[in-house]
Amino acid sequence: MTSQRWMLAFCFSLASVLSPGESVTTSEAKKYTCRTFGSGVVQPFSGSSFYVRSNCPFTLTRFTHNRVECDITTRRGDNGLLVHVEIIINKVRTVVQNGSILVEKKSVSLPYDHTYQHIFHYGIYTKLKSLLLPLSVTWHNVPGGIDSLRVELEQELSTDMTGLCGNNVPGDKKQLIKESVLPEDTCQTRDPVSTLNPVCQQFVSNTFECLQGMAPQYNTSSVKRTFTAMK
């Protein structure tokens, strides 16, 4: 078995341990995770993964907790990578674009400590941790954009939550996409939704970060092609 096949087999076996959308229970709180990748795959807080192929801006998640508002939006480039991420918590706006981080329109260097949030390097990733909400946002920069981003919540999902990450009631994916898009005249959405087959869904939701960390040659496009052939 070649090293590449061994690595793929290892990550695939790792994926079988957890199911998509699974929450982790600790002694302190329940953790929910929403992920999105450069291929256009979105793994919501609950429910199955789906594709969003669009260069339009989208609401990833929006909710209010203890009267603190959170609004996270993303935009992809034509290559599928995220080229613009905007995180607004308690009216403080953080923008990630072109490898730079701006807080209230001012470029910041890391680690960055603010009254409401910390932003710091987290291994090969960058992480924003809110001090007002039980929330963190972690992303991975590559040339041309961001190829993986995850939002982690250590609280029960709110019924007023909107965006691609969904809420505590899994709904129709096409309707979810329609309600989450922030349309512009120059953008377009192709193939509004494409459900992953169960094997691919499980692999995608649990092993993309493994592949990115252990085998840079495995990008999201190559993995997608591999599992398309398995359908």
pLDDT band at 227 (very low <50, low <70, confident <90, very high): very low
Q: Give the per-residue pLDDT at 173.
A: 83
Q: Is residue 203 in some structural domain?
A: no
Mean pLDDT of all residues in 90-106 = 96
- Classified as helix, coil or strand, 205 is helix
Q: Is residue 204 in some structural domain?
A: no
Q: Is residue 137 in some structural domain?
A: yes
Q: Output the CA–CA distances (angstroms, integers) from residue 152 to 6, 33, 43, 182, in the order listed.
A: 30, 5, 12, 23
Total domains in the chain come to: 1
Q: What are phi and psi of 116, to 5 degrees?
A: -105, -15
Q: Is residue 20 in some structural domain?
A: no
Q: Give the per-residue pLDDT at 214.
A: 46
Percent of the chain beyond pLDDT 70? 68
Do residues 158 and 65 touch, judged by C-beta distance below 8 A? Answer: yes
Q: Is residue 202 in some structural domain?
A: no
Mean pLDDT, the chain, integer: 78
Q: Is residue 18 in some structural domain?
A: no
Q: Is residue 219 in some structural domain?
A: no
Q: Output the CA–CA distances (angstroms, integers) from residue 225 to 55, 112, 222, 230, in the order listed.
A: 21, 39, 5, 9
Q: Give the per-residue pLDDT at 206.
A: 54
Mean pLDDT of all residues in 124-131 = 98
- Residue 3, pLDDT > 70, answer no
Q: Give the per-residue pLDDT at 207.
A: 52
CA angle 136, 141, 147 (to 5 degrees): 85
pLDDT band at 210 (very low <50, low <70, confident <90, very high): low
pLDDT tens column, 147-183? 999 999 998 888 889 999 987 555 678 888 888 999 7
pLDDT tens column, 129-148? 999 999 999 999 999 999 99
Helix (H) or strand (E) run with residue 137 in it: strand 135-142
Q: Is residue 35 in some structural domain?
A: yes
Nearest to 84 by CA among 17, 141, 168, 15: 141
pLDDT tens column, 50-84? 999 899 999 999 999 999 999 999 999 989 999 99
Q: Give the per-residue pLDDT at 21.
A: 46
Give the domain extent around 108: 28-197
